[in-house]
A and B are shown apart, each in its own frame.
Chain A
Amino acid sequence: MKKLLAVLLVLVFVPAAYASDPDIVKNAKAEGQVAFYANMTAIQPIMDVFNAESGLDGKYTRISTSKFLPTVLTEFQAGKLMADVLQAPLPVMQMLKAKGVLAPYTSPVAADYPDWTRKDDQIQTFGIEYVGLIYNKELVKPADVPKRYQDLTDPKWKDKIVMANPATHATTIAWLIGLKENVFASEAEWMKFVEGLAANRPMLVKSFGPTPAPVESGEKAIAISMPKYIITKAPAPLDWARVEQPLLGTPRGIAVSSSAKNPNAAKLFVDFWLSKQAMSKLSAEVGEYVLAPGVFPPIDGMDKAKVIPIRTMSDEEIRKWGGTFKKLF
């Protein structure tokens, strides 16, 4: 009886909810399952909704960014890629595309997404891993909160900043380069900012993950980090500096695998993932910045922020700048 109900639900609601092709829905049901590889956090609640609504058995594996490409390529080359759908930072997705791991799919659900997110026939961009300045409200007076990125070079921040290591952390390296290309008027002005930041001796940690804890505990006052921690770390006394310049971040992409064992279920999952329902959940529960129109994380002021994507850089370029930053920091 339950199964029958689930089938009826799928037939009645799924096409309406995320406007999937009815053939895809029918074939997906026959496939019965879908495997998803992602590098993001808190995906399980979204999987639960998908499973309940579609009647399929969706399973996800979380793989860290640094192991994403080696894992997927190893499985793909051995003919054992277990994922039907892949989600990762855009540069990783583009490398996977170059290796033939992805299949073409244009989701009808993405029709109202910004044009720039739909330029690729295989990868759909759905979010931006946005970087901002988060600070401890109890330690930093409102007047002292940076209004521009350049304010971080003020000597008053000496030994009070924490950031991911700009010698190694690809997203932070890309963010610094993004500032050069999108925010600062000249390279000289940008270099002055980088040198000033380094002169304040920020504490360097492995990635964004360990950046909020020292700010919450008061060990440091401000972090170059992700505003989403204001949601995931609540009720920690965190807020973000509403700088007058735009926020930057690496785009996140999703695509169907070219060797998907469940290609229709994969497409149905991508449609669901891009739906307002799933994107709202991602945004509300873990503070992600998503590109579904009108959906914003519940962080005060974020709906008015200008968040722009950083262009994709080659690993050679990232390593070269990583070397430069290592000497400076």
Chain B
Amino acid sequence: MAHKRSVLTPTLIVIVGFLTVCPVVMLVFGSFSTGLGAFGEFTLDKYVQAYADPELTGIIANTIIFVLGSSMVATALALLLAYLNTRTDIPFKFLFRIISIIPMMIPHILFSVSWVLLLNPSNGLINLMLRQIPGFEDIAINIYSLPGMILVEGLLDLPIAYLILAPALASFDIALEESSKVCGSTTLRTLFRVTLPVLRPAILAAFILSLVRSLASFAVPSVIGMPGRIYVLATHIYQSIATGFAADFGKAAAIGMSVLATSITLIYIYRYLTSASEKYVTISSRGYRPTVIELKGAKYPLFGVVGLLSAVLIVLPVLVLFYTSLVPYSMIPSAKAFSMMSWKHWIEVINDPISLLSLKNSVFLGVVGATLGVTLSIFVAYAIVKIRSHASGILESFSFLSFSFPGIVIGVGFMWFFVRTPLYATIWALLIGYIATYLPYGVRPLTSAFIQVHSHLEESSLVCGASAFTTMRRIVIPLLIPGIVSGWILMATMFVRELTLSVVLSRPGTEVLAVQIFRFSEDGLWGQLSALGIMMIFISTALVLLATFIGIKFKPLEEGG
């Protein structure tokens, strides 16, 4: 077993390294090369130009506020929703579960545009409604601001945080909380002194993943930040690429290197903070039974609060999308708007000649990609958590490499890499690119799930004569089901709406839904884009239901109690 373990980590380093290091290495070459490609004469000019920019200080300050703020919003909201959904008897749980994941299913640019329609200071719907209230006639809440950016990015990152926290909460050992209560603590004190500290790895994982994601995010900074003249690193990078016709992705990569360094530092901080992993084990051999806390009198008031919060933050923007998909052009709701509604945009999208092919390709990439991605993630997470060696630290950093790079740059890194392989312009390039870039979506939920499984369980199985494979199949994987389901949902929904790699790597025959998204958004056709966005929500919801259903079927432990 020890031998097998010692072979596992290096093997995974080779696989994950191949997937994630190659495009990043190409970008490193590009950042040190003259010209526009990956290979040219050596130069430091791109770094000098990138970092000597006097505006960089202000941009970094904005970026720090933006990523910290949005990650806090995402983690706090996710914690609240995950706690209520998995640990309490709040009604309509399933609805909340779907609502928490919805922002993951929509192209981010569309969710951001939806918020602009709701909260722009001129005629945002919420502003218009508030102005009807006496005393608020002059109100103009401005989405084009740092708080606006933080709110929308926080909501977009909510599903990531939720899907990491929910499995951790679902497998929480009640005995810890009971001991606390027996010793005289109140429920609230137990929550803050026992529950939350034990969940530290999952909370930190959710927070750090949100940080890394918001650092690489481009939709919110461009749709909400730019009109308010608030620039963060992602828009700064875009500026360096887009100004002029010959986009220098090498220079963009030079700026991206600092984002990458920040992300890797964060991963190491996370490892350090959760180094004593034994403290966080909640599923041991002594019985494991996640239980439900009765909210009693607080049940319906809490339901009301969470329901309202979900309605305003997530359901309303989706309704705006639906509305936008029915009106002929961008217009505020009025009798005229309602009289002009039709299914025109929907019909156009459905009749699009490449729609069917791209739909098929996207669903294939979602299902096959997520399945392969989660399989790889199980091994990677196992190596990271159970074999805490120096090499597993390298593996963990590798798994984050492509993910941490700003989206607009990493696609070009993959192109520079794939063009040197026979995979270029095939669907497999997209499949590999997706898995490589979004590997943390599988690894993170599984890492926090693995942390909670005590090694005694595996050891008992091995002592009883089971092979390592049987132990993994019969003991470990069933305990990991909530994490596997979370990882699969995150990856599948991401792959269905993936944009940044797709627009660079997709070619005739390998079109994916993103090709349409890109086309509609470049042409400002929000009606068609919204119709497509809603269709994507349906497809992803079907995938989420599928994953949840399979998860329930394979989770005898939780059912049996």
Contacts and interface: CB of A to CB of B under 8 A. Distances in A.
B36 A69 contact: yes
16 contacts: A59-B509, A71-B415, A71-B504, A75-B419, A95-B246, A167-B243, A173-B243, A204-B229, A212-B524, A216-B330, A217-B117, A217-B330, A219-B116, A236-B329, A316-B244, A322-B244
B329 A235 contact: yes
Q: Which of A67, A74, A329 has the most CB of B within 10 A?
A: A74
Contact of A78 (B229, B249, B420): B420
Contacts of A42: 523
A60 interface: yes
Interface in A56-73: 59-62, 64-71, 73
A74 B247 contact: no
A61 B508 contact: yes
A302 B248 CA distance: 37
A69 B73 CA distance: 39
Interface in A71-99: 71, 73-75, 77-78, 80, 82, 89, 91-92, 95
Contact of B415 (A48, A74, A218): A74
Interface in A200-227: 203-214, 216-220
Contacts of B227: 203-205
B243 A69 contact: no
B412 interface: yes
B247 A66 contact: yes
Contact of A232 (B331, B424, B525): B525
Contacts of A44: 353-354
Interface string B241-275: 11111110100000000000000000000000000
B332 interface: yes
Interface string B319-352: 0000000001111100000001000000000000
Contacts of A315: 243-246
A123 interface: no
Interface in A13-71: 35, 41-42, 44, 48, 59-62, 64-71
A157 to B, nearest CB: 13
A319 interface: yes
A318 interface: yes
Contacts of B484: none
Contacts of B245: 65, 68-69, 89, 91-92, 95, 170, 315, 318
A229 B524 contact: yes
B332 A217 contact: yes
Contacts, number: 152
Contacts of B354: 44
Contacts of A318: 243-245
Contact of A168 (B239, B525, B526): B239
A125 interface: no
A242 interface: no
| Interface size range on B against A | 35 or more
Interface of B: 36-38, 113, 116-117, 120, 122-124, 144, 222-223, 226-227, 229, 238-239, 241-247, 249, 328-332, 340, 353-354, 411-412, 415-416, 419-420, 424-425, 503-504, 506-509, 515, 518-519, 521-526
A173 B245 CA distance: 11
A209 B328 contact: no
Given A170-B242, A173-B243, A319-B243, 20 more contacts: A59-B509, A61-B508, A62-B515, A66-B247, A67-B503, A70-B247, A80-B419, A92-B246, A165-B226, A203-B144, A209-B521, A209-B522, A213-B526, A217-B331, A218-B122, A218-B331, A219-B116, A219-B124, A229-B524, A318-B245
Contact of B504 (A67, A173, A236): A67
Contacts of B242: 66, 168-170
| Interface size range on A against B | 35 or more
A233 interface: yes
A319 B226 CA distance: 18
Contacts of B331: 216-218, 236
B77 to A, nearest CB: 28
A60 B508 contact: yes
A66 to B, nearest CB: 5
Contact of B519 (A62, A74, A205): A62
Nearest to A208: B524
A20 to B, nearest CB: 24
Contact of B238 (A35, A75, A168): A168
A224 B354 CA distance: 32
Nearest to B419: A78
A187 B124 CA distance: 39
A137 to B, nearest CB: 12
Q: Which of B36, B38, B245, B411 has the most CB of A within 10 A?
A: B245
Contacts of A213: 113, 330, 524, 526
Nearest to A47: B353
Nearest to B412: A70
Interface in A236-264: 236
B247 A67 contact: yes
A319 B244 contact: yes
Contacts of A212: 330, 524
Contacts of A65: 245
A277 to B, nearest CB: 20
Nearest to B520: A209
A318 B36 CA distance: 17
A82 B508 CA distance: 10
A61 to B, nearest CB: 6
A206 B222 contact: yes
A220 to B, nearest CB: 7
A233 B329 contact: yes
